[in-house]
Amino acid sequence: MPVSASQIIRGYRREIYLRGVAVAASLFALVLLVLVDLATGPSGLPIADVWHAILAGPSGGDRMTATIIWPIRLPQTLTGVLVGAALGVAGLQMQTILDNPLASPFTLGFSAAAGFGAALAIMFGTWLPFPDYLAVPISAFLMTLLATSLVYGVARSHRATPEVLVLSGIAVLFFFQALQSLLQFMASPEVLQQIVFWLFGSLLKATWTSVAVILVIGLAVSPVILGDVWRLTALRLGDGTAASLGLPIPELRRRTLVTVSLLTAGAVCFVGTIGFVGLIAPHAARAAVGEDHRHALPLAAIAGSVILVGASVFGKLISPAAAIPVGIITAVAGVPMLFAVIISRRSSS
């Protein structure tokens, strides 16, 4: 049956509207989940009290509730939201530039580099001119950037193809993993325990500083990410077709690599390695709103936040006294999700 141009336009507008509804609905679900996370913990709070404590500010309302919410739970929950969003966006970008559905922000060895940086600061932090709570994230952040610069250097001197990026990323991954293992081997039992706890990935390390830093990094890279929204969507056509449209693919890959590394470094340097969020969130986003990055990017961010805050709630519910680190929960929950992705891809192909 012939379809007129006006029908095509109407159909497209309707599809865009539905995608907007999906993004808005996910945002609403995230807000509810944030309230639940704030209410959950060793001392359970009614959601209404949480809501009033937020509205009243750090010094207003019920003192006990404000003391629990403002300095402790709110920074942890907001860090969870921001880290989840950063990993979701970084994962979508990584899967796009590597043209690989199994890529994540950690594919190119960034988590191993951050882990090595953290271990280095935990072991030798006392020699640095910063307090411990700053030395560890700074060192983790800098090592992630060092890993990026190694991969970037290879991509710059050779063709920035997915194969070149992945192979150089694997080399970086093994290099930093080896260094991390060396430090763990050399560490005293107390220091080793601290390193292992950092590697678990936990929101308990979150503070208002982490919220501010991750937020600033996110705001700083946003113009670049949003400016490339059509280019990244066009890259989903595949290298051959995208190049035929005049897309500057090597520059786009290198630029995106830098934004991914900044987002990932900011996310993991405070809370440690949190796996699977950056792998699963992009798939959830694409399944709901398709490949257009105008919708897939915000939804990947929201999906990442939902997964991480959901893992936080789950961890606190099953072990209220000592919340299980979210990194462990996302890793355990991520395995069946990964199988689901693999099976759904097989059946669709």
Partner 1 sequence: MSAAAGLELDDVTVARGGKLIVSGVTLSIATGRIVAVIGPNGAGKSTLLAAIAGQLPHRGRIHWQGAPPSPGQVGYFPQSADVRSSLTVLETVLLGRYDRLGWHVGDADLARAGEALAELELNHLAPRPMSTLSGGQRQLVLLAQSLVRQPALLVLDEATSALDLRHQMSVLRRLSAYVERTGALVVTAIHDLNLAARFADSMLLMANGRLQALGTPREVLTGEALASSFGIRAEMLLSSAGEPVLVPLAPL
Q: Which residues bind partner 1 (CB under 8 A)?
A: 1-5, 8-9, 11-12, 15-16, 229-231, 233-234, 236-238, 240-241, 243-247, 286, 290-292, 294, 348
Is the Cβ of residue 76 or residue 233 nearer to partner 1 in the bound state? 233
- Cα dist. 182→98, 136, 178, 349 in Å? 30, 18, 6, 43
In angstroms, what is the minimal distance from the CB of 306 to partner 1?
22
Closest distance of CB 7 from partner 1, Å: 8
Reading the block at residue 57, the tokens are 């500010």
Neighbours of 163 (CB within 10 A): 11
Distance in angstroms (rounded) separating the CA atoms of residues 154 and 347: 36
Closer of 11 and 42 to partner 1 (Cβ): 11
Which residue is listed with tokens 């890259």?
235
CB of 280 to partner 1, least distance (A): 17
Checking 127-136 for CB contacts under 8 A at 24+ apart, the result is: 133/207, 133/209, 134/209, 136/198, 136/269
At its nearest, how many Å lie between partner 1 and the CB of residue 347? 12
Return the number of the residue (103 or 113) whose C-beta is nearest partner 1: 103
If the CB atoms of residues 35 and 243 are measured against partner 1, the closer one turns out to be 243
State which residue, 83 or 249, has the beta carbon closest to partner 1: 249
Least Å from the CB of residue 297 to partner 1 = 12
Q: How far is the CB of 291 from partner 1 (least distance, A)?
A: 5
Closest contact distance (angstroms) between CB of 99 and partner 1 is 9
Residue closer to partner 1 by CB (options 134, 237) is 237
Nearer of residues 73 and 293 to partner 1, judged by Cβ: 293
Question: What are the residues whose beta carbons fall under 8 Å from the beta carbon of 146, sequence distance 6 or more?
Answer: 113
Q: In the complex with partner 1, which residue's Cβ is closer, 73 or 253?
A: 253
Distance in Å, CB of 38 to partner 1, minimum: 33
